[in-house]
Structure 1
Amino acid sequence: MTTPFTSPPMQVEQEWTDYNGHLNMAYYHLLFDRAVDAALVPLGLGPEVAAETGASVFTAQAQVHYLRELQTGDSVVVETRLIEHDSKRLHYVQTMRRVGEDEPAAISENLVLHVDLNTRRVAPFAPEVLARIADAVAAHADLPLPKQVGHRVGLRRD
């Protein structure tokens, strides 16, 4: 079990930039979404498993913190750390960085639900998947959490 799960490098495409000259917010989500497979596949939750078993995960909640601008040609990696789980849900955080840099460009905190694709209802993880998730959560327990985890959206009151 890798700690944390790390995506292969991904490159920011020209057509993903907006009129402000930087990566549009929608494409941060695209990069985070592509990167989560680096964690889901070894857990037994990847796209092939969804096709074979009719079970997958749906995002119930996501919060992204945009910390540094990214531009065309930037190469990024995403680390995924599992935080906690129960029989039907998985809470994780992803940290996006430019390749070779320590400072995060963005942080994405997510809660996903395990879903039976036939009924489109939340269902328990298969026992072997739940065991892998538990192992990964334990392996990731000592990794530092980004300070953004658990923060709510809102204005500070002065």
Structure 2
Amino acid sequence: MADERSASVFFFAPFVSSTMAIEPAWIDYNGHLNLAYYHVLFDRAVDEAYGIVGLGPDYTEAGRGTTFAAEVHVRYRRELILDDPVRVTLQLVGFDEKRLHLYSEIRHATDGWVAATSENLSLHVDPATRRVAPFPDDILANLDVMMGSHARLPRPEDLGRVIGIPSRRPLHKPGSGALAAAGGVRIRH
């Protein structure tokens, strides 16, 4: 098979993408990288890592499978501007026969600071049925090698974060707060 790979694939821990440039069209009216393009940078890095694992374009074109994003959590930590070169680090956190759990960081390529983090759950999909399907054995073997390398990395601090508003007082509840105090209209069910 043309896309067949040996389980002796080598993985850096973490995987580090090629250096990427911020494109002028990606800069928004605030003068920094628009939030949508952080996802583009993460996605390009995932494509590079997938190519090493054997999940690249040839794999999909051969009809063996593809991946779909099931869940993504991005945390924006520092703004990027037009002249900032970036690299993305990627860590395989876990996998099973049908899913990949990945953690990535966009880093300034020369200064090393973290601009954003992304935690992703991806599903392996049969392109003919568009349904979740098991990875083939050769891909599982490559993922196992990658996991062995990445398992030595520390658990990322941002992994498993929950979105919320830290506060000493209870969260705003309908019918309370400024609207109620100002005599706002309340709809009763």
Larger displacement relative to structure 2 (23-32 or 49-58): 49-58
2:96 to 83, 86, 98: 86
Shift in Å at residue 116 of structure 1? 0.2
1:4-19 correspondence to structure 2 within 5 Å: 4-19=14-29
Aligned length: 158
1:16-35 correspondence to structure 2 within 5 Å: 16-35=26-45
Shift in Å at residue 146 of structure 1? 2.6
User: 2:105·2:116 contact (CA, 8 Å) conserved in 1?
Assistant: yes
1:106 to 109, 116, 124: 116
1:72 and 2:72 aligned:
no
1:115-130 correspondence to structure 2 within 5 Å: 115-130=125-140
Shift in Å at residue 2 of structure 1? 2.0
The match for 2:144 is: 134
Q: Which amino acid in structure 1 is aligned with residue 115 of structure 2?
A: A
Q: Secondary structure at the match of 1:53?
A: coil
Larger displacement relative to structure 2 (51-60 or 77-86): 51-60
Q: Which amino acid in structure 2 is aligned with residue 78 of structure 1?
A: V
User: 2:85·2:110 contact (CA, 8 Å) conserved in 1?
Assistant: no
Q: Deviations over 1:18-77 (max 9, x none)?
A: 111100000000010011112101111111211113401100001111111100121100
Q: Which amino acid in structure 1 is aligned with residue 148 of structure 2?
A: A
1:149 to 159, 162, 170: 159
1:48 and 2:50 aligned:
no
Which structure would you say has the larger Rg?
2
Query: Unmatched 5+ residue regions in structure 2?
Result: 1-10, 169-189
Shift in Å at residue 85 of structure 1? 0.6
Query: Unmatched 5+ residue regions in structure 1?
Result: none
Query: Percent same amino acid among aligned pairs?
Result: 46
Q: Secondary structure at the match of 1:29?
A: helix
| Moved segments of 4+, more than 6 Å | none
Shift in Å at residue 157 of structure 1? 4.2
The match for 1:62 is: 72
How far apart are the structure 2 equivalents of 1:139 and 1:89?
Answer: 18
1:3 and 2:10 aligned:
no
Shift in Å at residue 14 of structure 1? 1.3
How far apart are the structure 1 equivalents of 2:159 and 2:65?
Answer: 27
Calculate the TM-score normalised by the size of structure 1.
0.96
Shift in Å at residue 102 of structure 1? 2.6
Shift in Å at residue 144 of structure 1? 2.3
